[in-house]
Amino acid sequence: MSWSKLKQQLEGFLSPALAGRVEYRAPGYRYFPDKSGICYISVDKKSILNMGDKSNTIRWYQTELEIKNDPELLIPVSKDDIEAVRQTTKGPVPEDRLIVMARSRKSTEHAKELLAAQAALVKSNFIVVANKFLTTPIEESLESSDMVLNILALVDRRVGKKRILGMAEKVELKHPVVQYFYELRRGVL
């Protein structure tokens, strides 16, 4: 499918409140077929996501330690997480220490997932991911670990107010760029 048709279809699925504000740009070079697609997603004429550029307005993490020490990332810990830590420790451990240990474990897992998603995002071909988005159910795109699929689904008109509001906890564990588009969509509901 040509880029112009793909762009037209993607923009046709945009939420009415975001139509005209969110733009997709993917300049392709026909003479370099082995070059991965470059993707720009802009909001209000400001480039928010540029796959190849680490100097975006969205924070890109370089190490696991940066993610674990980021004060803006709040990792929720469930009772099941605390119980899993309790099972692995030998002997009595104070409850507050169990919470710290569970949060540390969960933030390590989260950091590894974020770095893996970032690496995949930089290497991905936007056109391939966009075509996948158009052919898969919206639920799969929302649940996917692919950040571009998450973004395309979040700005989609098929995702309603109730579903957007119900995703708040899941989105907290996603990359900041996905959180940005979630907040953008939530702000226009």
Determine contact, residues 147/182, Cβ cutoff 8 Å: no
Do 153 and 122 lie in one domain? The reply is yes
Given this model, what pLDDT does residue 66 score?
A: 81
Do 159 and 85 lie in one domain? The reply is no
pLDDT tens-place values along the chain, 189 residues long? 777 888 899 999 999 999 999 998 766 555 455 455 566 788 998 888 776 555 555 566 777 788 778 887 778 888 998 888 988 887 788 988 988 889 888 888 877 777 776 665 554 567 788 889 999 999 999 998 888 899 999 999 999 999 999 998 888 888 888 899 999 999 987
Determine contact, residues 75/103, Cβ cutoff 8 Å: yes
How many domains are there within the chain?
2
Do 40 and 70 lie in one domain? The reply is no
Torsion, CA 123, CA 6, CA 30, CA 21, rounded to 10: -70
Do 53 and 125 lie in one domain? The reply is yes
Given this model, what pLDDT does residue 113 score?
A: 78
Do 89 and 180 lie in one domain? The reply is no
Do 39 and 122 lie in one domain? The reply is yes
Token digits of residue 26:
């993917």
Do 82 and 135 lie in one domain? The reply is no
Do 164 and 89 lie in one domain? The reply is no
Token digits of residue 106:
């969960």
Closest CA to 178 of 156, 136, 146, 138: 146
Residue 127 CA to residue 5 CA, distance in Å, equals 11
Give, in order, the Cα–Cα distances in Å from 62 to each of 51, 69, 112, 162, 179: 15, 12, 11, 35, 18
Listing DSSP states for 22-77 in one string gives EEEE----TT-TTSPPP-EEEETTEEEEETT-S-SSS----SHHHHHH-TT-----
Given this model, what pLDDT does residue 64 score?
A: 77
Do 181 and 131 lie in one domain? The reply is yes
Closest CA to 179 of 163, 168, 165: 168
Do 55 and 136 lie in one domain? The reply is yes
* End position of a domain, from candidates 95, 115, 135: 115
Closest CA to 101 of 120, 115, 88, 118: 88
pTM assigned to the model: 0.67
Domain range for 78 is 64-115
What confidence tens digit (pLDDT) does each residue in 119-137 have? 655 545 677 888 899 999 9
Token digits of residue 170:
């899941």
